[in-house]
Amino acid sequence: MQTIHLKEYEIFIGAVGEKLQQFLKQKNYTKIAIILDENTRRHCLPIFTQLLDSTNFAIIEIHSGEQNKNIETCQRIWNQMMEAGLDRHSLTINLGGGVIGDMGGFCAATFKRGMDFIQLPTTLLSQVDASIGGKLGIDFNHLKNSIGVFRNPQAVFIEPRFLKTLPEREVRSGFAEIIKHSLIADAGQWEDLQQIEDLGQVNWEVFLQPSLKIKKKIVAEDPFEKGIRKALNFGHTIGHAIESFALPGKQPLLHGEAIAIGMICEAWLSHEIGGFPIEEVTTIARFILQIYGTCPLNKKDYPYLIELMTKDKKNENERINFTLINPVGKALINQTCDESLIEKSLQFYEKVALDKKQGKDENPKFSEEV
Amino acid sequence: MQTIHLKEYEIFIGAVGEKLQQFLKQKNYTKIAIILDENTRRHCLPIFTQLLDSTNFAIIEIHSGEQNKNIETCQRIWNQMMEAGLDRHSLTINLGGGVIGDMGGFCAATFKRGMDFIQLPTTLLSQVDASIGGKLGIDFNHLKNSIGVFRNPQAVFIEPRFLKTLPEREVRSGFAEIIKHSLIADAGQWEDLQQIEDLGQVNWEVFLQPSLKIKKKIVAEDPFEKGIRKALNFGHTIGHAIESFALPGKQPLLHGEAIAIGMICEAWLSHEIGGFPIEEVTTIARFILQIYGTCPLNKKDYPYLIELMTKDKKNENERINFTLINPVGKALINQTCDESLIEKSLQFYEKVALDKKQGKDENPKFSEEV
């Protein structure tokens, strides 16, 4: 088992059963509740209960999905916390992906002004992304994570057995953050990633630890996102807007799927604003499209997408704030540009996606054509 | 002007205009919003705007009253924060009593995972009680402050001119916390307080600073209420339950009015459990009843009151937790007792209240009779 030591807590990666037992024994909580959804109840709870002797937990079940990460679900969770008799010396265990981790953590952090919680992330995305940084929250008015707090868990337990329960689409979604970490901070890992051909064959433990260490280093320097932590926002300004936009639809995009699109757009902006080589943009776009396929955008939706970006909590003085890259492995924070250039970056995505669909992606000349 | 220096911020007491100007100039916030209610808009906003050069603020107005300190009002505040274009580098000014301070602070602390806020408490209660401690939150399921966070303001500005705008009932409510501070930590001040005959004639600045310093000392030793901070809960276990109980009614009790009743009951419990002299209980009861008058309780409501107490966030292991006193000036934390004794303490209140009404309070023999 690997351990990553952070300033305020530890992340355990591997067969975490024994560590989890130890933790619960040491802490002696008055009560313990597990927050889960119908998916993790079915697929992960059986694995979880195998890890432990005792099963004396309250179960708080919510409906899965980003569309339920809202204040109404929080009210149901708080209600069930009360009914279960939790107090501020109790523990919440968040057993699920990013939605459970963010919202369960937020509810724990605000219940009776704060109780302890631990994260058992069950998706690749939440294992690589939500384990570090203490960001908790919910969506509000269709704006992602616009209500929340910063607060660290008591510990994070990353159990690789949970990943075997995931549909392929969920794995792809998590992979986007691993791509991002390499693009902003580790050119060597970016080379390694490009060797991956089949996500189903990857031993994720190999990539999880280096990826978590990149995030650890960046967050430690800037816990409250005043400066360099913004490096982690690469792909996220446009990606979040696309994710928010797709949220009310019948088949919402997963976070990583939206961020993958955002990284293509923002790699192109990196070229336009920062002189990032167009060949590198092409390489990134081709790799991402090969894994994620293409997603139709529509020109008539551009203004609404840009409106969503203007409401992004990363902005200052109502200017849309970007993190770009140049070269691979180095992030440029606090970049801004005209809205027309943002629209062009969306057009760039549509162009490469179309070329990909039509099999024309072997020799793209994106920059000239848009 | 007096200044109380806390570890993370300062409290200014007096004519605070200049300090407030300086603060805003130094900080250079992207936007500023004032949260107020219909009362502070009418009575306090004119005073507030006189203090400042600029009046370039967004106004967020909510309905006054504890019954509106809930998640629905938070949603309206968050909405208006978004509409006003606030970002995480903006400032919220909470201009009002405890409800505005607690809920406005909570909304600021959770908006985009936290923006700065300052408190301009306009009631005696919020000036003496809410200025220190970083407790923010709302009521949920009729349970007082059951959802919230700990977070400090950037500064607190206590302007005595606001007190002149208060109805007498509000002044009485605030006075209860001053009584409490003296009973748990300052026997000398308790003697001074008993000389007060007309609350309308009091120069509050004289009592505010010592009272705030008592709270400062206690909170500094225990910011997250793990131990000695519970001293501040004297009168609050029973008081909160009575306040929650009265909340849905036509004329809810003010916080201090409920705490005043709670202090009589819990002084009696201090006698029963801790041997606090019954003569002192009598003195406390007589002083409080003289100022607050009597409030009818009803035997049939005792079980519900006790149920409310069992849900109090101060409890551990579902045992109702009390802070008692013995002698005056010294608090005893983590006291528990049987529910039957709690009922008897409520009966004690009813007895002394009845005696007071019937003019029989000169020679009460409460302890023997209940």
Residue B252 is classified by DSSP as P
Q: Do B110 and A113 touch (CB under 8 A)?
A: no
Q: What is the pLDDT of residue B361?
A: 60
Using an 8 Å CB-CB cutoff, list chain B residues near A141. Answer: 78-79, 82
- Residue A200 in this model has a pLDDT that exceeds 90: no
Same domain, B71 and B175: no
Is position A224 within any domain?
Answer: yes
- Residue B20 in this model has a pLDDT that exceeds 60: yes
Is position A368 within any domain?
Answer: no
Determine the Cα angle at A240 with ends A71 and A95, to 5°.
50
Whose CA is closest to A158, among A47, A8, A37? A47
Q: What is the pLDDT of residue A360?
A: 73
> What is the CATH number for B154?
3.40.50.1970
Tell me the CA distances in angstroms from B182 to A368, B175, B331, one per residue in order: 77, 11, 11
Q: Do B313 and A110 touch (CB under 8 A)?
A: no
Q: How many CB pairs under 8 A join A and B?
A: 89
Span B235-254, average pLDDT: 87
Q: What is the pLDDT of residue B370?
A: 37
Out of B71, B87, B147, closest to residue A111 by CB: B147
The percentage of chain A sitting over the pLDDT mark of 70, rounded to a whole number, equals: 97
Residue of B76, B138, B147, B224 to mutate when probing chain A, most A C-beta within 10 A: B147
The percentage of chain B sitting over the pLDDT mark of 70, rounded to a whole number, equals: 97
Report residue B364's pLDDT band, with 50, 70 and 90 as the boundaries: very low
Q: Is the dihedral of CA A180, A185, A187, A193 positive or negative?
A: negative
Residue that terminates a domain, selected from A149, A165, A181: A165
Integer Cα distance of A61 and A78 in angstroms:
12
Residues forming beta bridges with residue A325, ordered by sequence position: A331
Same domain, B185 and B222: yes
Q: What is the pLDDT of residue A1?
A: 86
Q: Do A112 and B30 touch (CB under 8 A)?
A: no
Q: What is the pLDDT of residue B357?
A: 85
Helix then strand then coil, in percent of chain A rounded to 5, is 55, 15, 30
Distance from CA of A193 to the nearest CA of B (A): 33
Residue of B29, B87, B102, B115 to mutate when probing chain A, most A C-beta within 10 A: B87
Is position A280 within any domain?
Answer: yes
- Residue A248 in this model has a pLDDT that exceeds 80: no
Is position A350 within any domain?
Answer: yes
Same domain, B248 and B333: yes
Report residue A362's pLDDT band, with 50, 70 and 90 as the boundaries: low
Distance from CA of A314 to the nearest CA of B (A): 8
The ipTM is 0.83
Q: What is the pLDDT of residue A127?
A: 96
Same domain, A120 and A233: no
Structural domain of B13 = 2-165
| pTM, full prediction | 0.84
Whose CA is closest to B259, among B354, B315, B176? B176
Distance from CA of A204 to the nearest CA of B (A): 31
Q: Do A149 and B146 touch (CB under 8 A)?
A: no
Same domain, B115 and B191: no
Touching check for A88 and chain B: CB below 8 Å? yes
Q: Which residue has better confidence, A355 or B247?
A: A355
Cβ(A284)–Cβ(A183) under 8 Å? yes
- Residue B104 in this model has a pLDDT that exceeds 60: yes
Is position A366 within any domain?
Answer: no
Q: What is the pLDDT of residue A143?
A: 87
Instruction: Give the residue on A whose Cα is nearest the Cα of B87.
Output: A313
pLDDT, chain A, mean: 92
Same domain, A115 and A225: no
Q: What is the pLDDT of residue A31?
A: 95
Span B119-139, average pLDDT: 93
Same domain, B221 and B323: yes
Tell me which residues of chain B, numbers 241 to 270, contact chain A at a CB-CB cutoff of 8 Å.
Answer: none
pLDDT, chain B, mean: 92
Same domain, A272 and A325: yes
Q: What is the pLDDT of residue B368?
A: 39
Report residue A366's pLDDT band, with 50, 70 and 90 as the boundaries: very low
Q: Do B318 and A88 touch (CB under 8 A)?
A: no
Largest CA distance in chain B: 64
Q: What is the pLDDT of residue A57?
A: 94
Largest CA distance in chain A: 64
Same domain, A156 and A270: no
Span A112-119, average pLDDT: 97
Cβ(B153)–Cβ(B23) under 8 Å? no
Integer Cα distance of B354 and B357 in angstroms:
5
Report residue B120's pLDDT band, with 50, 70 and 90 as the boundaries: very high
Span A281-285, average pLDDT: 97
Question: Which tens digit of pLDDT belongs to each residue from B157-199?
Answer: 999 889 988 999 999 999 999 999 999 999 999 999 999 988 9
Q: What is the pLDDT of residue A66?
A: 86
Is position A369 within any domain?
Answer: no
Whether the ω angle into residue A327 lies within 30 degrees of 0, i.e. cis, is yes
Residue A355 in tokens:
């070329």
Report residue A226's pLDDT band, with 50, 70 and 90 as the boundaries: confident
Cβ(B1)–Cβ(B9) under 8 Å? no
Question: Which tens digit of pLDDT belongs to each residue from B285-304?
Answer: 999 999 999 998 889 999 99
Q: What is the pLDDT of residue B344?
A: 97
Q: Which residue has better confidence, A200 or B61?
A: B61
Q: Do B146 and A111 touch (CB under 8 A)?
A: yes
Report residue B312's pLDDT band, with 50, 70 and 90 as the boundaries: confident
Distance from CA of B103 to the nearest CA of A (A): 13
Q: What is the pLDDT of residue B365?
A: 42
Question: Which tens digit of pLDDT belongs to each residue from A286-311?
Answer: 999 999 999 988 899 999 999 999 98
Q: Are strands A32-37 and A91-96 parallel, antiparallel or unpaired?
A: parallel
Residue B111 is classified by DSSP as B
Out of B30, B146, B148, closest to residue A316 by CB: B30
Q: What is the pLDDT of residue A311?
A: 83
- Residue A316 in this model has a pLDDT that exceeds 80: no
Secondary structure (DSSP) of B35-67: EEEHHHHHHTHHHHHHH-S----EEEEE--SGG
Same domain, A329 and A187: yes
Integer Cα distance of B1 and A102 in angstroms:
44
Question: Which tens digit of pLDDT belongs to each residue from A57-100?
Answer: 999 999 998 899 999 999 999 999 999 999 999 999 999 999 99
Residue that terminates a domain, selected from B140, B165, B190: B165
Q: Do A114 and B149 touch (CB under 8 A)?
A: yes
Distance from CA of B3 to the nearest CA of A (A): 28
Residue ranges in A222-301 assigned as alpha helix (H):
236-246, 255-274, 278-292
Same domain, B157 and B174: no
Residue that terminates a domain, selected from B165, B197, B221: B165
Residues forming beta bridges with residue B111, ordered by sequence position: A147
Cβ(B339)–Cβ(B347) under 8 Å? no
Report residue A110's pLDDT band, with 50, 70 and 90 as the boundaries: very high
Residue B360 CB neighbours (<10 A): 12
Report residue A129's pLDDT band, with 50, 70 and 90 as the boundaries: confident
Same domain, B256 and B342: yes
Range name among A201-210, A313-322, A344-353 with the lowest pLDDT average: A313-322
> What is the CATH number for A283?
1.20.1090.10
Structural domain count of chain B = 2
Q: What is the pLDDT of residue A364?
A: 45
Q: Do B313 and A114 touch (CB under 8 A)?
A: no
Tell me the CA distances in angstroms from B333 to B102, B227, B325, one per residue in order: 25, 8, 8
Q: What is the pLDDT of residue A367?
A: 39
B181: left (phi over 0), alpha (psi -120 to 50) or beta: alpha
Touching check for A79 and chain B: CB below 8 Å? yes
Residue A188 in tokens:
């060597």
Q: What is the pLDDT of residue B200?
A: 87
Q: Which residue has better confidence, B246 or A112?
A: A112
Cβ(A122)–Cβ(A44) under 8 Å? yes
Range name among A165-174, A219-228, B41-50 with the lowest pLDDT average: A219-228
- Residue A251 in this model has a pLDDT that exceeds 90: no
Residue A231 is classified by DSSP as G
Which range among A322-331, B49-58, B199-208 has the greatest average pLDDT?
Answer: A322-331
Question: Which tens digit of pLDDT belongs to each residue from B22-34?
Answer: 999 999 999 999 9
Q: What is the pLDDT of residue B369?
A: 39
- Amino acid identity of residue B165, one-letter, is T
- Residue A317 in this model has a pLDDT that exceeds 80: no
